[in-house]
Amino acid sequence: MRVVIIGGSGHVGTYLVPRLVEAGHEVMNITRGQREPYQPHAAWKQVRQVVINRDEADASHSFGPQIRSMKPDIVIDMICFTLDSARQLVEALRGQVQHFLHCGTIWIYGHSVQVPTTEEQPRHPFGEYGIQKAAIEAYLLDEARRNGFPATALHPGHIVGPGWEPLNPAGHFNPQVFKRLACGEEVALPNLGLETVHHVHADDVAQAFMQAIVSWGSSVGESFHVVSPAALTLRGYAESVAAWFGQAAQLTYLPWEAWRTTVSEDEARATWDHIAHSPNCSIAKAQRLLNYQPRYSSLEGVREAVNWMMEHGIIRL
């Protein structure tokens, strides 16, 4: 089939585009042409690159018609962040595509009620990103169920893989936290270190998109979490990372208001965003309906990213 992927040269697309090509699809990738995939792959030679700036095209209401003119069978939308942007695309593609796959986020839940969170749990999103993503999901599922628009929403957790810095055991992105744990140095965690983070390897997200395509009958009109089999507590995450290097983690704990003063504003903001969500999502629905079988646990996914950071001198022991 002809697959148009919007934003296919990032974390997920690096793995998804080669999978699509290998499955025999004709692939067109929409980007601004600024980024290269994280890993080279011969499959990219067969991909048609189309340069469009979605923000600019959305502003002039030309994005949907441009995608429609490519006559796709399948559209994979990796970079939709507002309800208005989703609406424009759906209006243009109504009756024109066999399958429309949207990349959402587990931030749609805000805080959890029962964990692991299932797709049937209530949404309490906070922050503009989560609020917009929840609105997009609700809109797409309504369009699918009421009007027969063939939409599926896939909600990744925190995406990791070799090539970029992973969310660390303190809930932010400073890679020095990994170094300190590896060297047996003290690391302070907020509260009791029992708030959670939920990673997923980018290749497992790609697997879920492929499985959703081949499972059309059970994926249309549905949303699915795409995460590793289990979330991590910050404390357990820190202890596991230290153990990789033969260390017992030297952890201290501080109440949030005290802890936040020990890190930069950016780090505190990132950690707050993660611990206020404390995601812990179930993959049972994706396993049952899509036969999603993640290859990586959270720790295995992070380990690949940490190895990459060590190979590239981002972490020096």
Ligand X SMILES: NC(=O)c1ccc[n+]([C@@H]2O[C@H](COP(=O)([O-])OP(=O)(O)OC[C@H]3O[C@@H](n4cnc5c(N)ncnc54)[C@H](OP(=O)(O)O)[C@@H]3O)[C@@H](O)[C@H]2O)c1
Which residues in this chain contact ligand X in the complex, by CB under 6 A? 7-13, 30-35, 52-55, 78-79, 103, 105, 156, 158-159
The tokens describing 82, both together, are 């507002």
The Cα 131–Cα 314 span in angstroms is 34
234-244 and 298-311 helices cross at what angle (nearest 10)? 50
Closest CB 248 distance from ligand X, rounded Å: 30
Closer residue to ligand X (CB): 154 or 315: 154
By beta-carbon proximity to ligand X, the closer residue of 160 and 249 is 160
CB of 307 to ligand X, least distance (A): 19
Nearer to ligand X, 156 or 193 (CB): 156
Q: How far is the CB of 303 from ligand X (least distance, A)?
A: 17
Q: In the complex, what is the shortest distance from the CB of residue 13 to ligand X, in angstroms, rounded to a whole number?
A: 6
Which of 166, 242 has the CB closer to ligand X?
166
Question: Do 232 and 198 touch, CB atoms closer than 8 A?
Answer: yes
Residues 6+ apart with CB under 8 A from 274: 158, 167, 171, 172, 195, 197
Residues facing residue 153 across a β-bridge: 102, 223
DSSP 8-state symbol, 33: S
Q: Given the complex with ligand X, which of 74 and 103 has the nearer CB atom?
A: 103
Strand order in the sheet with 26-31: 48-51, 26-31, 2-6, 74-77, 99-103, 151-156, 223-226
Q: State in angstroms the smallest separation of the CB of 33 from ligand X.
A: 5
Please give the sequence-ordered ranges of beta strands (E in DSSP) within 157-299, or none if there are none: 158-160, 186-190, 196-197, 199-201, 223-226, 232-233, 250-254
Closest to ligand X by CB, 13 or 236: 13
Residue facing ligand X at closest CB distance = 10
Quote the DSSP letter at residue 281. Answer: B
Q: How far is the CB of 37 from ligand X (least distance, A)?
A: 8
| Interior angle at CA 22, CA 16 and CA 27, nearest 5 | 65
CB of 310 to ligand X, least distance (A): 21
Task: Please work out, in degrees rounded to the nearest 5, the angle formed at the alpha carbon of residue 149 by the alpha carbons of 147 and 150.
Answer: 140
Minimum distance from CB of 10 to ligand X (Å)? Answer: 2
Of the two residues 5 and 181, which places its CB atom closer to ligand X in the complex? Answer: 5
- Of the two residues 12 and 290, which places its CB atom closer to ligand X in the complex? 12
- Count of beta carbons in the 10 Å neighbourhood of residue 71: 11
Token pair in block for residue 228: 């590793």
